[in-house]
A and B are shown apart, each in its own frame.
Chain A
Amino acid sequence: MAGVDLINLSKAYGDTEVLHDINLSIADGEFIVFVGPSGCGKSTLLRMIAGLEKVTGGDLMIGDARANDLSPRKRNIAMVFQSYALYPQMTVAENMGFSLSLERRPKDEIAKKVQEAAETLKLGPYLDRKPGQLSGGQRQRVAIGRAIVRQPQVFLLDEPLSNLDAALRSETRVEISELHQRMKTTMIYVTHDQVEAMTMADRIVVLNGGYIEQVGGPMELYNTPATEFVAGFIGSPKMNFIKGRFAEAVGAKTLGVRPEHFTIGSGDNSWEGRVTLVERLGHDTILYVKVPDAGVLTVSLNGQHQQQVGDIVHLRPKAEFIHKFNDSGRPIAA
């Protein structure tokens, strides 16, 4: 096991720099998630750690060794790909044992390690099948198994759940978290899904446009976002951003209110609006309310509520949870 340090790391394709001056220290055994919108550089950063993309600036340390110029096989890492990338001509057992067979390990040792990994991942009955005969979820487990068998220093996972359906995704999410707790190996996980990031990570790295916006625990990012971008990216449904007179009234350029931080009820400081859409989820009711000078605001109410489309409601943001941002999208201290 080992930690990973990124020191002033950058990546450029020709004259175009896509990752700028990345500094990050990942502790040994930590589960860290890179999250951000498409094109933010999160997969490129992961591939640089894997050795699949060349580092064009700065230092990449895996454990105590500088890994900038090491080939992937010398980095002692394992990677799970979005597309599974299983070898179609090999059986599940051969796929999982491939890396060990390349190291010319004894056959009985390979079989034992494959068997252990298969038991952990409930793949025992499928060891003799080819990937083409497995479901998406089983294939993803084989890909994870292939990584486990190597007992690497660092696990890299590149959007491993994005090809699975919603039910299987949440199931596999739990399995990966349990696996991390059991193995205590450093895991670096890339996703664009902030729910995955929030539920799995010890720490989240939010990337945007090739820069790190913020690094912190899930609740830290949720409660004290360092930028307007992070505030909008973390949390579902996403934070409401209100400009104009409502923001100016509290001395901000932009006012941020999370949907769950509104209450409904009239009063001096309430905002009057008309309900344009209602989503009833059972445990929550989500209202879309058009408020003059603020636009359409998303309001998440705990439990079941009776509001209908067209109703007039009065929204009141909870003062202690309001986020205020300045011109450059930075928070204004309370």
Chain B
Amino acid sequence: MTRWLLLFILGVIAILMVSPLILTVFTSLKPTTELVNPPWAPPVNLTFEHYVRVWTEGGFSRYFFNTLVISTVDAVVMIVIASLAAYAMVFMEFRFKLLLQILFLIGLMIPVTAIVLPLFQIVRGFGLLNTHLGVILADLALAVSVFVFMFSSYFVGVPKALHEAARIDGATEFQIYRRVVMPIATPAVVTTALLEFLWSWNDLLLRLLLMTRDEMRTLSVGLLNFQGTMTRDVTGLSSGTVIMAIPVVLLFLFFQRHFVRGMTAGAVK
């Protein structure tokens, strides 16, 4: 009985979670004439015309490329800098280590919206407005604390003896990082790559603020094109949303196993 009740509750939650996505997919595949039908009615005459329109006329091919570049660079660079910083925090002794740890901790606590104006001034001061580099640097700076913390929790689980054995074998700190520690940190690497990619892919605020020129825009900002003050292009918005969601969903499905392992790292011995 309890099992059935549990299944029912889980079923209801699953439907609630997935229904907006299904409605969006339905809307994106309907001809404009079918929009008068209830939104939960599946499309009668399937059409991909809205996808073509959004991709070409809507400029999504350009936005997609911009988003892909920014998110990929974000993810790759984040893995490198966060893992290097975490390695130093966990395996090395140096002056002001505690101070640095406190600074990283503070970084975890500050919401982006609280520092968005000074951030804008800094990026403008460096002449990086309307550049991918400006957004990438801002992304990295704002999220690095989270990933240093995550890599640190993973590295703490790496036996100290392994690090010591490598030192005795004659490895430098960088060789230990690259050849001993990183190869066994795959779950943390995958989790960082996915989360940073996802955050960067979905972020609206920084992109809206730091990149005003159309050719520099990303998908999240591009979606706003389909929404005016008085009108809304529902099919365009839906198709754009699906285009934006597909890569992330695929990535997550592909790396799900590693991702879960990374998120639970250090939970139990």
Enumerate chain A interface residues (CB-CB to B < 8 A): 50-52, 71-73, 77-79, 81-83, 85-89, 98-99, 102-103, 146, 150
Interface of B is mostly: helix
Shortest A200–chain B CB gap in Å is: 22
A50 proximity list for chain B (CB < 8 A) = 164, 168
B164 and A52 contacting across the interface, CB-CB below 8 Å: yes
Q: Which residue of A lies closest to B162 (CB)?
A: A85
Supposing A71-B167, A72-B167 touch, asked if A87 and B180 sit within 8 A by C-beta, the answer is: yes
Q: Which residue of B lies closest to A74 (CB)?
A: B170
A83 proximity list for chain B (CB < 8 A) = 159, 161
**Can you give 24 A-B contacts (C-beta < 8 A)?**
A50-B168, A51-B168, A52-B164, A72-B167, A72-B168, A73-B167, A73-B168, A73-B169, A79-B164, A81-B161, A81-B165, A85-B162, A85-B165, A86-B165, A87-B166, A87-B180, A88-B184, A98-B166, A98-B169, A98-B171, A99-B169, A102-B175, A103-B170, A146-B165
Q: How many residues of B contact A (CB 8 A)?
A: 17
Q: Which residue of B lies closest to A149 (CB)?
A: B169
A147→B7 CA distance, assembly (Å): 57
- B127 lies within 8 A of chain A by Cβ: no
- B183 lies within 8 A of chain A by Cβ: yes
Q: What 13 additional pairs, Cβ within 8 angstroms, besides A52-B167, A77-B168?
A: A50-B164, A72-B167, A72-B168, A73-B167, A83-B159, A85-B162, A89-B183, A89-B184, A98-B169, A98-B171, A99-B170, A102-B175, A146-B169
A71→B176 CA distance, assembly (Å): 14
Interface of A is mostly: loop
B171 proximity list for chain A (CB < 8 A) = 73, 98, 102
Cross-chain contact of A85 among B161, B172, B179 (Cβ < 8 A) = B161
Shortest B156–chain A CB gap in Å is: 16
Q: How many A-B residue pairs have CB under 8 A?
A: 56
A77→B172 CA distance, assembly (Å): 16
A87 proximity list for chain B (CB < 8 A) = 162, 165-166, 180
Shortest B23–chain A CB gap in Å is: 46
Shortest B163–chain A CB gap in Å is: 9
B168 proximity list for chain A (CB < 8 A) = 50-52, 72-73, 77-79
B169 proximity list for chain A (CB < 8 A) = 73, 98-99, 102, 146, 150
Enumerate chain B interface residues (CB-CB to A < 8 A): 159, 161-162, 164-172, 175, 179-180, 183-184
A303→B171 CA distance, assembly (Å): 55
Shortest A234–chain B CB gap in Å is: 29
A114→B228 CA distance, assembly (Å): 71
A82 proximity list for chain B (CB < 8 A) = 161
Shortest B17–chain A CB gap in Å is: 37
B180 proximity list for chain A (CB < 8 A) = 87
A21→B17 CA distance, assembly (Å): 69
A102→B164 CA distance, assembly (Å): 15
B162 proximity list for chain A (CB < 8 A) = 85, 87
- Which of B162, B170, B172, B175 has the most chain A CB atoms closer than 10 A to its own CB? B170
Supposing A52-B164, A83-B159 touch, asked if A102 and B170 sit within 8 A by C-beta, the answer is: yes
A79 and B170 contacting across the interface, CB-CB below 8 Å: no
A73 and B170 contacting across the interface, CB-CB below 8 Å: yes
A85 and B170 contacting across the interface, CB-CB below 8 Å: no
Q: Which residue of B lies closest to A52 (CB)?
A: B164
Shortest B196–chain A CB gap in Å is: 24
A85 and B167 contacting across the interface, CB-CB below 8 Å: no
A150→B166 CA distance, assembly (Å): 13
A82→B168 CA distance, assembly (Å): 15
B183 and A81 contacting across the interface, CB-CB below 8 Å: no
A88→B181 CA distance, assembly (Å): 10
A72→B164 CA distance, assembly (Å): 9
A86 proximity list for chain B (CB < 8 A) = 165
Q: Which residue of B lies closest to A88 (CB)?
A: B184
B170 proximity list for chain A (CB < 8 A) = 72-73, 99, 102-103
A79→B171 CA distance, assembly (Å): 14
Shortest B166–chain A CB gap in Å is: 8
A77→B165 CA distance, assembly (Å): 11
A72 proximity list for chain B (CB < 8 A) = 164, 167-168, 170
Shortest A102–chain B CB gap in Å is: 5
Shortest A268–chain B CB gap in Å is: 59
A85 and B183 contacting across the interface, CB-CB below 8 Å: no
| Smallest CB-CB A-B distances: 5 pairs | A73-B170, A85-B161, A85-B165, A99-B169, A89-B183
A103→B175 CA distance, assembly (Å): 12
A77 proximity list for chain B (CB < 8 A) = 168
Shortest B201–chain A CB gap in Å is: 30
